[in-house]
């Protein structure tokens, strides 16, 4: 058998006159009728709305027209992504400062994307005439150069769509920050509920029982001087002493859950070693921390890093059936990296409502990232990336 028979087949190159080309041709030909419809709608609604802006119905009509322009812009973004490979993403919802019709009108009239969409609808008529005419001529007499001409025309329209219809970067950032703020508020409320529940069900209940035991012991001592009564009172005091120690331990655990003293006093290295020492994985947890330089990240980043590792190790102890685990922390330029691994059964995922999803929201609130790699059967690797903000930089 010749060597040529063993040679792997070369991958087929896409045809110049394939489906992509005809998708671009169809898109450019449709620009004219869509451009005419968008131009008529935009000019009529905005002109009438501006002309009647001194009346009660003028501004709502203008806002309605801009809303329609925004919707037409969404259609154009979808068309451009499908046929031309544009990168413009869908914007977030309108941010309304007030409820009611006045709040909606104000939000629409101050939305830059609505006005840019209106401008795009006007420009699209001119571009639609040019692109329709050029595409039609190329289909009839410019057949040999049609693929390259379509690529050039598609590039121009992509630039137009990305520049006028892409969401404003500042508005997107504000929307992301508002979502992050919501996540932080929800996390803080959940933490407060947890602390209240732990105090009510744990230390508070033990202190109430302690007060009752001490009251009974006091009454017993006041009522009798017999050795049996004294022995019973002594036993009550001993039981109360045990309750005091348990209550103190629960209060220490609760304080450690809020913000451990070792993290404040000795930093992330000692805090991660302490939480790893309490993990119940049979083979133990190996910790390696390499934070270059003497500076420390601010308390918010340190706290999130500590509680993330603590939660992940708790999940490993309860659910992973792992024999060993490792925790690595290091700094890469302006990022704090965490890697928690175990040799358990795997299958971990940040599905909605799960503990990992809650961690991802808390990490995302400070512009961090959580990545989960946990195939069925294991092992599991969870990588966390947090911004390195120093105390000096924030002061």
Q: What is the pLDDT of residue 5?
A: 45
Confidence at residue 186, expressed as pLDDT on a 0 to 100 scale: 56
**What is residue 293's predicted lDDT score, i.e. its pLDDT?**
63
DSSP 354: S
pLDDT score of 1? 44
User: Beta 325-332 vs 335-342: how paired, if at all?
Assistant: antiparallel
Instruction: Please list the ranges in the chain whose pLDDT falls under 70.
Output: 1-17, 92-93, 95-98, 168-211, 213-264, 292-294, 353, 389-395
How far is it between the farthest Cα atoms of the chain? 120
**C-alpha span between 350 and 353 (Å, rounded):** 8
- pLDDT tens string 204-248: 666 666 667 666 666 666 666 666 666 666 666 666 666 666 666
Our CA angle for 332, 333, 339, nearest 5°, is 20
Contact 279/325 with Cβ under 8 angstroms? yes
> Helices in the chain by DSSP H: which ranges?
3-6, 19-51, 58-83, 100-109, 112-141, 146-164, 169-198, 204-223, 227-258, 261-266, 268-277, 299-315, 355-364, 391-394
Structural contact between residues 84 and 165, judged by C-beta atoms closer than 8 angstroms: no
Q: What is the DSSP string of 244-297?
A: HHHHHHHHHHHHHHH--HHHHHH-HHHHHHHHHHT---TT-EEEEEE--SS--B
- Do 328 and 339 touch, CB atoms closer than 8 A? yes
Residues contacting residue 202 through CB under 8 Å, at least 6 positions apart: 247, 250, 254
- For the record, the structure tokens of 157 come out as 């329209």
């Amino acid at each position: 058998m010749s060597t040529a028979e063993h040679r792997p087949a070369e991958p087929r190159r896409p045809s110049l006159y394939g489906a992509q080309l005809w998708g671009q041709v169809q898109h450019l030909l449709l620009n004219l009728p869509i451009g005419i419809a968008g131009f008529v709608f935009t000019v009529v609604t905005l002109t009438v709305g501006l002309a009647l802006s001194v009346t009660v119905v003028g501004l709502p009509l203008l806002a309605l027209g801009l809303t329609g322009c925004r919707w037409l812009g969404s259609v154009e973004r979808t068309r451009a992504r499908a046929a031309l490979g544009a990168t413009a993403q869908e914007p977030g919802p309108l941010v309304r400062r007030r409820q009611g019709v006045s709040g909606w009108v104000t939000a629409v009239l101050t939305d830059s994307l609505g006005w840019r969409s209106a401008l795009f609808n006007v420009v699209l008529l001119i571009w639609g005439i040019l692109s329709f005419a050029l595409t039609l001529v190329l289909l009839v007499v410019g057949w040999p150069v049609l693929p390259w001409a379509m690529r050039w025309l598609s590039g121009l329209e992509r630039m137009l769509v990305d520049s006028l219809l892409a969401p404003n970067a500042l508005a997107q950032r504000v929307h992301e920050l508002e979502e992050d703020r919501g996540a932080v508020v929800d996390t803080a409320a959940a933490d407060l509920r947890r602390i209240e529940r732990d105090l009510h069900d744990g230390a508070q209940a033990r202190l109430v029982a302690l007060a009752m035991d001490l009251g009974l012991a006091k009454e017993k001592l006041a009522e009798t001087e017999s050795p049996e009564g004294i022995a019973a009172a002594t036993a009550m005091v001993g039981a109360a002493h045990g309750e005091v120690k348990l209550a103190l331990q629960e209060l220490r655990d609760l304080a450690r859950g809020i913000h451990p003293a070792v993290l404040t006093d000795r930093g992330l290295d000692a805090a991660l070693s302490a939480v790893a020492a309490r993990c119940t994985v049979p083979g133990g947890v190996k910790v390696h921390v390499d934070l270059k330089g003497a500076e420390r990240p601010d308390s918010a980043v340190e706290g999130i890093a500590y509680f993330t590792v603590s939660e992940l190790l708790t999940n490993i102890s309860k659910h992973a059936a792992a024999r060993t685990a490792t925790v690595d922390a290091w700094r890469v330029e302006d990022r704090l990296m965490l890697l928690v691994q175990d040799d358990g059964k795997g299958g971990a995922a940040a599905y909605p409502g799960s503990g990992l999803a809650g961690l991802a929201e808390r990490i995302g609130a400070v512009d961090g990232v959580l990545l989960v790699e946990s195939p069925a059967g294991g092992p599991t690797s969870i990588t966390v990336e947090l911004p390195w903000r120093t105390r000096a930089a924030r002061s």
